[in-house]
A and B are shown apart, each in its own frame.
Chain A
Amino acid sequence: MLSVTNLGCRRGDLRVLSGVTFRLAAGQALILRGPNGSGKTTLLRTLAGLAPPDGGHIDAPEDEIAYAGHADGLKSQLTVAENLRFWAQMFGQRTIRPALDTFQLAALANRQAANLSAGQKRRLGLSRMLVTGRRIWLLDEPTVSLDSASTAVFAAMIGDHLAAGGLAVIATHIDLGLSAAQSLDITPFKARPEAHANPFLDGAFT
């Protein structure tokens, strides 16, 4: 389903990762591990197609990837339901009710997103994944500012998604307790600094 071969990733001019290789079948999840700055976000952005790959192959079905980054992409002037409905419409889905119910957002449906707490915003941002109707989820630190109950809800949501034949690549530091999850430490894929990247700087720092 999602197969990555020898992928290189760049952040701006900097080579961050090289030789990343993994395969995920339907119903599997991949947990990305690695210290801060090791390139988890860059890898996810490259997989999402936001950054061009620096060599290598990403083999994934067309239009099946949904991405959630550090920011939730919420509009503070819109209500919870309006935010969710907008994304549902963008992805051609009709109903937002199941997504509202998953994270117990139904009671907040008419509240402006500006008046939500950080955890509630995160819950809304994550429930957006449910209205995309896509099978491959890329999640960047999804549990930040979630309390333990919501984290459990989130783990259950991922479990349901995998059980329905979905895939997930998740960068996180906590243990979600997913049985179908592989773990990938990306530290070994750290790219070596490019030799002679810029001929004008040759010898400048020696």
Chain B
Amino acid sequence: MIALLRRDLALALRSGGGFGLSLAFFLIVVMFVPFGIGPNSATLATIAPGILWIGALLACLLSLDRIFQLDYEDGSLDLLATAPLPLEGVVAMKALAHWLTTGLPLTLAAPLLGFLLNLPAGGYFWMFLSLLVGTPALSFLGTFGAAITVGLKRGGLLLSLLVLPLYIPTLIFGAQSVTLHLQQLSNATAFSVLAAISLFTFALIPFAAARALRVNLR
């Protein structure tokens, strides 16, 4: 399993577009908001958590179709499916590799970009924490979408349409756990639900995605 994770990380580093692309996209989306909304710092402060979450979510989408498509095209996926590692393990490692190359860098960059959006001082910690807990769910849900659309020519758009609705709960509770804190309300419920969604995807997605892959490999 570790071998697969290391290979995927090495591939993401060497082919470019792994770490850099999503991060640059996130940066650009977030930087565009003040241009569009105007420099009113009170308005920006209100919408900052939501914008950061939406930006992270869209940046996460960018690299989803690469999770299985490249392995499918060069035949590695067939070989992985006949290897001793169960397909569920393959899926979990692929999702983890995706998170390490997109979700984690986005999480680390978010507080910095929060500064650009005039995120109030009390929000930085929760922004970081909510993304740290929530982005793995984005990677796992996306892996499921990628498993369903693998083998489709130009499945990228369909993948986005499939996956975006599944992202809604994570978006709501992720952004709320920051916003509620900024409004001096308790965000314990929102944050717990966010964590619960992530745990739920870890438990369920490897099996669902492996099943979808088996169907697609026939």
Which residues in A have some Cβ–Cβ distance to B below 8 Å? 10-12, 45, 48-52, 63, 65-78, 82, 86-87, 89-92, 128
Residues of chain B in range 18-71 having any CB-CB distance to chain A below 8 Å: none
On chain B, the residues within 8 Å of A71 by CB distance are 73-75, 78
Quote the shortest CB–CB distance from A10 to chain B (angstroms): 8
Would you mind naming 7 contact pairs between A and B with Cβ atoms under 8 Å apart? A45-B78, A50-B81, A69-B75, A72-B74, A75-B74, A82-B7, A91-B84
List 11 other contacts, CB 8 Å, given A66-B82, A67-B79: A11-B218, A50-B217, A67-B78, A68-B79, A69-B78, A71-B73, A72-B74, A73-B74, A76-B74, A77-B11, A86-B7
Contact-residue size bin, chain B (C-beta under 8 Å from the other chain): 20 to 34
Taken together as a complex, chains A and B put the C-alpha atoms of A75 and B72 apart, in Å, by: 11
> Given that A50-B82, A69-B75, A72-B75 are contacting pairs, would A89 and B3 also be in contact in the complex, using a CB cutoff of 8 Å?
yes
Q: Which residues of B contact A10 (CB under 8 A)?
A: 218
B113 at the interface (CB under 8 A from A): no
| CA gap between A87 and B75 in the complex, in Å | 13
Count A-B contacts at CB 8 Å.
Answer: 71
Q: Which of B10, B75, B85 contacts A90 (CB 8 A)?
A: B85
Please determine whether B82 and A49 come into contact, CB atoms closer than 8 angstroms: yes
**Judging by beta carbons under 8 Å apart, are A78 and B10 in contact?**
yes
A45 to B218, CA, bound (A): 8
Considering the complex, give the chain A residue whose CB is closest to the CB of B12. A77
Q: How far is the CA of A174 from the CA of B101 in the complex (A)?
A: 45
Q: Which of B74, B85, B218 contacts A74 (CB 8 A)?
A: B74
B189 contacts the other chain (Cβ, under 8 Å)?
no
When chains A and B are docked, how far (Å) is the Cα of A50 from the Cα of B81? 7
Contact B82 A67 (CB under 8 A): yes
For the complex of A and B, the 7 pairs showing the least CB-CB separation, nearest first, are A71-B75, A89-B3, A73-B76, A77-B14, A73-B75, A73-B79, A67-B82
- CB-CB under 8 A for A12 and B76, given A77-B11, A77-B14: no
B80 located at the interface, meaning its Cβ lies under 8 Å from any Cβ of chain A in the complex: yes
Q: Measured between C-beta atoms, what is the minimum distance from A65 to chain B in Å? A: 7
Q: Contacts A50-B218, A89-B3, A90-B3; is A75 near B76 (CB within 8 Å)?
A: yes
CB-CB < 8 A to B10: which residues of A? 77-78, 82
Query: Do A87 and B79 touch (CB < 8 A)?
Result: yes
Cα of A76 to Cα of B81 in the assembled complex, Å: 20
User: Closest CB-CB distance, B34 to chain A, in whole Å?
Assistant: 37
A68 CA to B83 CA in the complex, in Å? 11
B132 within 8 A of partner (CB): no
- B185-218 residues with Cβ-Cβ distance < 8 A to A are 217-218
A4 to B159, CA, bound (A): 39
Q: Which residues of A contact B75 (CB under 8 A)?
A: 69-73
Bitwise interface map of B from 4 to 18 toward A, beta carbon under 8 Å scored 1, else 0 = 100100110011000
What CA separation (Å) do A10 and B217 show in the bound complex? Answer: 12
Distance between B87 CB and nearest chain A CB, rounded to angstroms? 11
Known A69-B75, A72-B74; judge A78-B7 contact (CB<8 A). Answer: yes
Name the contact of A75 in the complex, choosing from B3, B11, B85 (C-beta under 8 A).
Answer: B11
B83 in complex: contacting residue of A69, A72, A75, A91, CB < 8 Å: A91
Q: Which residues of B contact A45 (CB under 8 A)?
A: 78
Residues of B within 8 A of A68 (CB): 79
Cα–Cα distance between A11 and B84 once the two chains are bound (Å)? 24
B145 to chain A, nearest CB (A): 22
With both chains docked as a complex, state the minimum distance between the C-beta of A41 and any C-beta of chain B, in angstroms: 11
Q: Are A78 and B11 in contact (CB under 8 A)?
A: yes
Kindly state the separation between the CA atoms of A89 and B3 in the bound complex, as whole angstroms. 6
Decide: A90 and B83 in contact? CB cutoff 8 A: yes
Tell me which residues across on chain A come within 8 A of B4, comparing CB atoms.
86, 90
B76 (CB) vs chain A CBs: closest residue: A73
